[in-house]
């Protein structure tokens, strides 16, 4: 039982490059989330998806796009990376409103934008 | 708008002393409150949630709706409690879950 799997674990980009962070969960959870973690700023919600086919903006959505590909997968895309997007990104999932809202987290993806 | 405030970035406590990590929230409906912990080199994980009213690793937290607080307490700190602690809120209108800025707890020997 892998839980929440994120790829890649580490990535270095140049300003203006694009990339996609992948996330998959095998717990049949309805809701999935992307957060960024920055020193002194805590965890900030970028986007979330309450169910397959729906996505909603979180606290800091600018510069990002997401796709809920199916119930298992939720990807985060940076179309034109900026140094301000240097961060550790966490994907998480939960059963959602039909059940407990306890989040299961991935291991994180450390992104550096030069 | 929902908001979670953790006023302390760093809290240093001697081993055996009591610990209190503060969390205040702003939400107009009926929130669900959580504490998550991140130990060094480990994933973020749930410590406890208010509706369970349980004690995990000696920690407890009571939801005070009048003061809009959900402070985390432990009577006697242990060195293995050193970690980053995050308070989180889930609202009753949507599936948004937000976190505070976190408090790093450092237990001194």
Mean local confidence (pLDDT), B6-16: 96
Tell if the CB–CB gap between B95 and A50 is shorter than 8 Å: yes
* pLDDT reading at B80 higher than 60: yes
Nearest to B31 by CA among B87, B85, B73, B93: B93
Residue B107 token pair: 């237990």
| pLDDT confidence band for A40 (50 / 70 / 90) | confident
| pLDDT confidence band for B1 (50 / 70 / 90) | confident
Q: How many helices (H) and strands (E) does chain A have?
A: 0, 11
| pLDDT confidence band for A1 (50 / 70 / 90) | low
What pLDDT is attached to residue B97?
Answer: 94
| pLDDT confidence band for A97 (50 / 70 / 90) | low
Tell if the CB–CB gap between A101 and B99 is shorter than 8 Å: no
Best of A31, A74, A103, A109 to mutate (most B CBs within 10 Å, chain B) = A103
Tell if the CB–CB gap between B32 and A59 is shorter than 8 Å: no
* pLDDT reading at B94 higher than 70: yes
How many Cβ atoms are within 10 Å of B100's Cβ, its own excluded? Answer: 25
Mean local confidence (pLDDT), B83-98: 92
**Strand ranges, E, within chain B:** 3-5, 10-14, 19-21, 24-26, 32-38, 45-49, 60-61, 72-74, 83-90, 97-99, 103-108
Distance from CA of A62 to the nearest CA of B (A): 17
Q: Which residues of B touch A40 (CB under 8 A)?
A: 9, 101
What pLDDT is attached to residue B59?
Answer: 94
What pLDDT is attached to residue A2?
Answer: 78
What pLDDT is attached to residue A96?
Answer: 74
pLDDT tens, position by position, A49-64: 999 889 999 999 999 9
Distance from CA of A22 to the nearest CA of B (A): 17
Mean local confidence (pLDDT), B4-11: 96
pLDDT tens, position by position, A77-94: 999 999 999 999 999 999
Q: Which residues of A touch B (CB under 8 A)?
A: 31, 33, 35, 40-45, 48, 50, 56, 58-59, 90, 92, 94, 96-97, 100-103, 105-108
User: What's the CA gap between B103 and A56, in Å, rounded?
Assistant: 28
User: What's the CA gap between B50 and B31, in Å, rounded?
Assistant: 10
Mean local confidence (pLDDT), B52-60: 86
List all residues of chain B from 43 to 102 with a beta carbon under 8 Å from chain A: 43-46, 49, 86, 88, 90, 94-102
């Amino acid at each position: 039982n892998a839980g929440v799997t994120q790829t890649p674990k580490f990535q270095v980009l140049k300003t203006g490059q694009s990339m996609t962070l992948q996330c998959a969960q095998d717990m049949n959870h309805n809701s999935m989330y992307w957060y960024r973690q920055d020193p002194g700023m805590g965890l900030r919600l970028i986007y979330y998806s309450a169910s397959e086919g729906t996505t909603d903006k979180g606290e800091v959505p600018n510069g990002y796009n997401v796709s809920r590909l199916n119930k298992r997968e939720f990807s985060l895309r940076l179309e034109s990376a900026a140094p301000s997007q240097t961060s550790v990104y966490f994907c998480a999932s939960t059963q959602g409103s039909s059940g407990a809202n306890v989040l299961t987290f991935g291991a994180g993806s450390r992104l550096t934008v030069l | 708008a929902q908001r979670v405030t953790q006023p302390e970035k760093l809290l240093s406590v001697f081993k055996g002393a009591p610990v209190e990590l503060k969390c205040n929230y702003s939400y107009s409906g009926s929130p669900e409150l959580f504490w998550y912990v991140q130990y060094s080199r480990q994933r973020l994980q749930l410590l406890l949630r208010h509706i369970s009213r349980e004690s995990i690793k000696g920690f407890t937290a009571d939801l005070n709706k009048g003061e809009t607080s959900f402070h985390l307490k432990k009577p006697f700190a242990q060195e293995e409690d050193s970690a980053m602690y995050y308070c989180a809120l889930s609202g009753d209108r949507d599936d948004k879950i937000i976190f505070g800025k976190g408090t790093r707890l450092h237990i001194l020997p």
